[in-house]
Amino acid sequence: MNRRSIRFRLTIWYAGLLAGLLMLFGASVYIGLENHLQSTLEQSLGNQARQIGETFLAAVGVSGEDYVIDEIREHYAPEINNRFVRVTRADGSVMYASLAPEDKSFDPASLPVLRSSVSLASSRSQRLADGNRMLIYTLPFRADDGEGFLIEVGAAYGPIERTLRGLFIILLLTLPFFVVVAIGGGYFIMRRALSPLDEMTRSAERITSRNLNERLPAARTGDEVEHLSASLNRMIARLDEAFEHISRFSADASHELRTPLTILRGELEALAQQSLPHEARETIASALEEVERLTRIVESLLALSRLDAGEARMERARIDLAELATTTTEQMRLLAEDRSISLRCESDGRIEVEGDRARLKQVIVNLLDNAIKYTPENGAISIRVRSTNGRAVIEVEDNGAGIPADALAHVFERFYRVDKARSRQMGGAGLGLSIVKSICAAHGGRVEAGSEEGRGSRFRVELPSANQLHDDGE
């Protein structure tokens, strides 16, 4: 998962916020329950202390202390109920003290006797020697005959601590589960919400200058994503219109330039046939070379414009690509031998494709011509035709100067030349590889370049084989 993606960040933020809120809620429930249980226990102890005083100690002068002790044991049974009850006289002597409870949660004898100087009811938390805690409610009481007593009623914190421990375990087990569910739910929600963007991204990756008539999928979400897709589609429509204008202008300009260039070349050739001084004849010859060069550029631009617009005439038929490469190589061999460059063609037998023979031959010619131009004397060029994974592959490799790494990505751009001075000297206009790319795209194929500077270049063309096209059609 991409940690910088919006989906990841929103999911983490959502899960973190929910986890924080759940932890805050759990802590609030824990503290609230602890306070409630302690308050309830304190209130219960206080009620028992007041009942002992008002019911039994008030008339102790008449009923006697033994009666009071018997009544406390009978009505409250502190040992059975795991409570602590102690009644202290004003002189500090103990009138009654409960024995150890049945659950052995505390030892009454370890609790210190308070002085009778306590004048207000209060509660205290008493830490015992074994580490346990008790809550003791203390109530000063004066009987009807004026005698003063100190009533203490207490209970261990054990039940409260067990209840809180159970709650803590529940929170400890359930909170991670809820957090995991929140992360999963948040990721699912973010994925659903951002899935239109993923689809738009995939569609945008497929759109190039050759298929600007395609549009991004319209997200019918009614939110910002839908507005974005609509805006991008309008932008693509404007780009499509601009590209059409540019392509139309290039085609029209190239078409219009053909006639004056033809006339100009004819007049220069006619002038060259006349009896003229040597300097004038050289000037005319140089002008004819430039006219010829300009004519080739115009023809290339016109071909590119037609290929881009899909208006180029292409006669599709089954072609043996290996045979086409072999014959074309033989035709280019003389040009290579003039520079003492060896030219070798290899193939894996008959490899058929469906396409325009003239256009595919132009691909091979342009690649070989480009290799011959940039391979030094006594160099070597090889062309291999083979079939790989249902695709027909042409590879043209040379051991020339190679292409710099920073220029490799631009070699198929129009008018791009790695060495502009050398390209101009050799008559290159920077359109040959652009034409190769356009022809390959028109045949449903592609071309790519690889090079290591100083060790040569390799151009690889992939085209759908005739068998693959037949299978896809079925």
Which CATH number is 275's domain given? 1.10.287.130
Number of domains in the chain: 3
Residue 77 lies in a domain: yes
- Answer yes or no: is pLDDT of 206 > 60: yes
* 465 and 405 assigned to the same domain: yes
* 342 and 379 assigned to the same domain: yes
Q: pLDDT digits over 87-132, tens only?
A: 998 888 899 999 989 888 888 888 888 765 667 888 888 888 777 8
**Distance in angstroms (rounded) separating the CA atoms of residues 55 and 76:** 12
* 290 and 350 assigned to the same domain: no
148-156 and 342-347: which strand pairing?
unpaired
Whole-angstrom Cα Rg for the chain: 49
| Structural contact between residues 143 and 57, judged by C-beta atoms closer than 8 angstroms | yes
- Phi and psi angles of residue 346, each rounded to the nearest 5 degrees, phi first: -130, 150
* 152 and 281 assigned to the same domain: no
pLDDT of residue 128: 81
- Phi and psi angles of residue 441, each rounded to the nearest 5 degrees, phi first: -65, -40
pLDDT of residue 255: 60
**Distance in angstroms (rounded) separating the CA atoms of residues 201 and 54:** 83
Residue 73 lies in a domain: yes
- Answer yes or no: is pLDDT of 474 > 50: no
* 138 and 16 assigned to the same domain: yes
pLDDT of residue 104: 85
Residue 216 lies in a domain: no
| Residue 133 lies in domain | 6-163
pLDDT of residue 48: 92
* 135 and 11 assigned to the same domain: yes
What one-character DSSP code corresponds to residue 115?
P
List, in order, residues 6 or more apart from 375 with CB less than 8 Å away: 339, 341, 381, 398, 399, 400, 456
Task: Find, among 344, 458, 451, 452, the residue nearest to 395 by Cα.
Answer: 458
pTM of the model: 0.49
